[in-house]
Structure 1
Amino acid sequence: MSLRKAKSRQPETIRTVQKDLTYTNELTEDLSDILRMSGPRNWIKYNNVCKLIAEIVYHGFATCNNLQTLGEEYTGILQIDCNYINAPSKILRLSAIILEFGGETLYTKVLNNLERNIDSNEDILPEAKEKLKILIHYMRNSVSYVKALHKTLFYLNSNKYQISKRITGINYVLIRHWMQPDHSLYGYRILGWITLLQLVITFVVGSFEAWKESQRKSTGRNSSSQKLERLLGTQKSRDAPQCILCLEPRINTSLTPCGHIFCWHCILEWLDERDECPLCRENINKSNVIQLRNFV
C-alpha cells in the first residue's frame, strides 16, 4: 500500500503542533526561571532567547535520536520524505527546525543589513537607492502574505502546518491510518476559502493604500519643485536688468547697432512707430536688431 494514502489530515497535524507547543512552553518557563536566578539584568536581556532555545532543544533532541516528538507520538504520526518512501534525513529535519524557528528572524536581519549597505554605498545613484529600498520594503512586508497563503493551502488540502515542512518537503503519515476517525473536512476547506478571501482583500487594500501613498509623495515632490522653481524664477526676475521701455525685467534681450539693449518685442514695437533708437535717436531698422542668446 502506498503511504500517500496514509498521510495525516489537518486535525492530526494541528493536534500534534498544539501538543508540542505545550511542552516547549513548559521548557521555556523552566529556562526563564533558571535565567532569572542570574539576576534581573540578564533576565531582561536574554529572556526572549529562551523560547528559541527551548524549541531547538526540544525538536533537535528528537531529531538527533531518531525519535518522534511527544506531539507526534500522541497523535500517532511520523515524518516522511516528499516521495513517501523513507524517513527524512537528520540534516533535512534539522534544516526544517532552523527554518521554522529562526528563518523569519534571519530573513529580516539579512534585509536590514542589505538596506544599511545600500544606504552607505556611495557608488549607487540616489534614484537606484530609493527603488532598492522600496523593493526591500515590499520583501519585508511579504512575510505576512506568505504565511497567510501557506495557511490557506493547509486548510484546503495539505498536512503541512509549518512553512518549513513545505520548503523541505517533509510530510506526515499516520501509523494506524485504518483507525483514523471519519470526520468531515469540509469545515477546514470553508476556513481555507475564508482565509483566501481575507488574504485577497488585505492585498488589494494594502496595494491601494501603497498606491495612494506613492501618489501623495509624488504630488508633494512636484508641488515642492514647482514652489522652488517659482521662488527661483521670482528671485531671478528681481535680479534681472530692466528694459528702459517697459520698465520690467528684460525678456529675449536684444541689441541695437548703437549698442543699447531692450526687450525683443519692446524694441520691435518701438520701431513700428519710428526708425530711431529710443535713447540716442540714431536711425536703425528692424533688420539691424540682434536677439542675444544666453544673455541676461
Structure 2
Amino acid sequence: MAHHSPSFPSARQAQIIRANQRDLFHVLSLKEQVDNVLRSSLGTRWLLKWDKEVDLILKLLYYGLTIGRAVQTLGEEYTDTWQHSAFSSKVPSRASRIALVLVPTLPSYILAKWGSHLSSLSPRVASALRILPMSLEVVAEVNLAIFYLRGTYYDLTKRILGIRHISTTPENPHAHPPSYSLLGILILIRLLYRLVHYLRSRAHDANEKSRGKRALDGTRDMFIDDRLVSSMLEYVDPENAPVKPAEEDENTVLDVGAIPARARASRNCTLCLEERTDSCATECGHLFCWNCIVGWGREKAECPLCRQALNLTRLLPIYNL
C-alpha cells in the first residue's frame, strides 16, 4: 500500500505579511530593551558608537536561532506557517538558511559602516557604492509589488533562493482571502514616477553642463547666522571628542558661572550627560549639545528621547537656555 506524504497549502498573503510584521516587531522590541540596558550600564556615547554592531548581532541571533536552526520564527509560529524549498519541496538546505540569515543583514551593515572608507579607493568604486543602495531599494520594491500582485516571495532573498511558505491551517473554501493587488499597482506607479523624475533630473543636469553652469544636486544651501548648515554638520566622533566646559561655551548669551548649581544640573544633555554646550533644539522641542545630536542623527534619524523623525538641517541653535 503506497504511503503519501501530507501536502500543505501555500501560505496566504495575509499570513506572510503578518509573520514578517511580527518578526520585525520582536526584533525592534528586543533592540529597544537591549539599548536601554546598554545605555544605563555603558553610557549613551558607547551605545552611539557601537549601535550598528549591536543591531547586527541581535538580528543574527534572532534569525540564526530560528531560521538557521530550521525552526519557525516567532512570526511564523504566530501565523502557523513554515518555510520550504520550491526546488526540493523540503526544508531549506543549510546553505540556503545561512544565506537567509546573512544576506539581509551583513551587506547593509558593511555599506553603512565602511561605505565612506571604501569610496576613497577609486571613483568607480565610489560611484558604485552610491548607486548600489538605491538600486537594491528599487529591486526590493519591485519584488514587493510582484508579491502583492501574485502572492509569493515577500522577501527578495527568498525569491532568489526559491524559498516559499506553506501553511498548516486548512483553507476555507467558503472564504475569499483579501486582495493586495491595489498595493502592488500603487508601488509600480510610485516607481514609474521616480523613474520619470530621475530621467528629467538627468536631462536637466546635462543641459546645465552644456551651458557651462554648475549642476545642482536638488538641494538648497541653508544658513544659520551667516554660517552654511552643511559646514556645521561635519562628522563628529562623540566618543573621542573632548568635553568642553560650559563656561567656555561661546555660543550662549548666558553667564553660566552665575547660574545656581541646582539650575545648572537641569541643563545636562541626555546624550553626553554633561552640561549642555552649543545648545540646540530639535523640531520636537528637546535640547541637546550640538555635537551630540549631530553625531546621533548621523547614525539614527530620530530623536533619542521621543523617537520622532530627526532632520539635522532643521536643528535650531539656542543661545539663552
Q: Same fold (TM over 0.5)?
A: yes
What do residues 142-186 of structure 1 show as CA deviations (whole Å, max 9, x unaligned)? 223112211111111133222221222211111123358833443
Unaligned runs of 5+ in 1: 120-128, 223-296
What do residues 70-124 of structure 1 show as CA deviations (whole Å, max 9, x unaligned)? 11111011000122511002321121121112333445778756642224xxxxx
Structure 1 residues 197 and 2: alpha-carbon distance in aligned structure 2, compared to 1, 3 A threshold:
farther
Aligned to 1:144: 137
Compute the displacement of 1:50 (Å): 2.7
User: Quick check: 2:67–2:101 contact (8 Å CA) kept in 1?
Assistant: no
**Equivalent residue in structure 1 for 2:49, among 41, 45, 54:** 45
What is the identity, as a one-letter code, of the residue corresponding to 2:139? Answer: V
Aligned to 1:260: none
What is the identity, as a one-letter code, of the residue corresponding to 2:38? Answer: L
What do residues 190-233 of structure 1 show as CA deviations (whole Å, max 9, x unaligned)? 211121111112111111112211221232179xxxxxxxxxxx
Compute the displacement of 1:4 (Å): 8.6
What do residues 231-290 of structure 1 show as CA deviations (whole Å, max 9, x unaligned)? xxxxxxxxxxxxxxxxxxxxxxxxxxxxxxxxxxxxxxxxxxxxxxxxxxxxxxxxxxxx
Structure 1 residues 208 and 22: alpha-carbon distance in aligned structure 2, compared to 1, 3 A threshold:
same
Residue 220 of structure 1: SS of its match in structure 2? coil
Pairing 1:204–2:207 present: no
Aligned residues: 210
What do residues 22-63 of structure 1 show as CA deviations (whole Å, max 9, x unaligned)? 221221122212322123321221134333222211111113
Question: Superposition RMSD on alpha carbons, in Å?
Answer: 3.0
Aligned to 2:25: 22
Aligned to 1:168: 161
User: Quick check: 1:18–1:71 contact (8 Å CA) kept in 2?
Assistant: yes
Compute the displacement of 1:15 (Å): 0.5
**Partner Cα separation in structure 1 for residue 7 and residue 193 of structure 2:** 34
Residue 8 of structure 1: SS of its match in structure 2? coil
Structure 1 residues 174 and 81: alpha-carbon distance in aligned structure 2, compared to 1, 3 A threshold:
same
Unaligned runs of 5+ in 2: 215-321
**Equivalent residue in structure 2 for 1:96, among 84, 96, 100:** 100
Pairing 1:183–2:183 present: no
User: Quick check: 1:3–1:173 contact (8 Å CA) kept in 2?
Assistant: no
Structure 1 residues 174 and 25: alpha-carbon distance in aligned structure 2, compared to 1, 3 A threshold:
same
Aligned to 1:56: 60
Residue 154 of structure 2: SS of its match in structure 1? coil
What is the identity, as a one-letter code, of the residue corresponding to 1:201? Answer: Y
**Equivalent residue in structure 1 for 2:85, among 71, 81, 88:** 81
Aligned to 1:33: 36
User: Quick check: 1:3–1:84 contact (8 Å CA) kept in 2?
Assistant: no
User: Quick check: 2:85–2:164 contact (8 Å CA) kept in 1?
Assistant: yes
Pairing 1:192–2:184 present: yes
Aligned to 1:157: 150
Compute the displacement of 1:14 (Å): 0.7
Structure with bigger gyration radius: 1
User: Quick check: 2:68–2:94 contact (8 Å CA) kept in 1?
Assistant: yes
What is the identity, as a one-letter code, of the residue corresponding to 1:190? Answer: L
User: Quick check: 2:76–2:82 contact (8 Å CA) kept in 1?
Assistant: yes
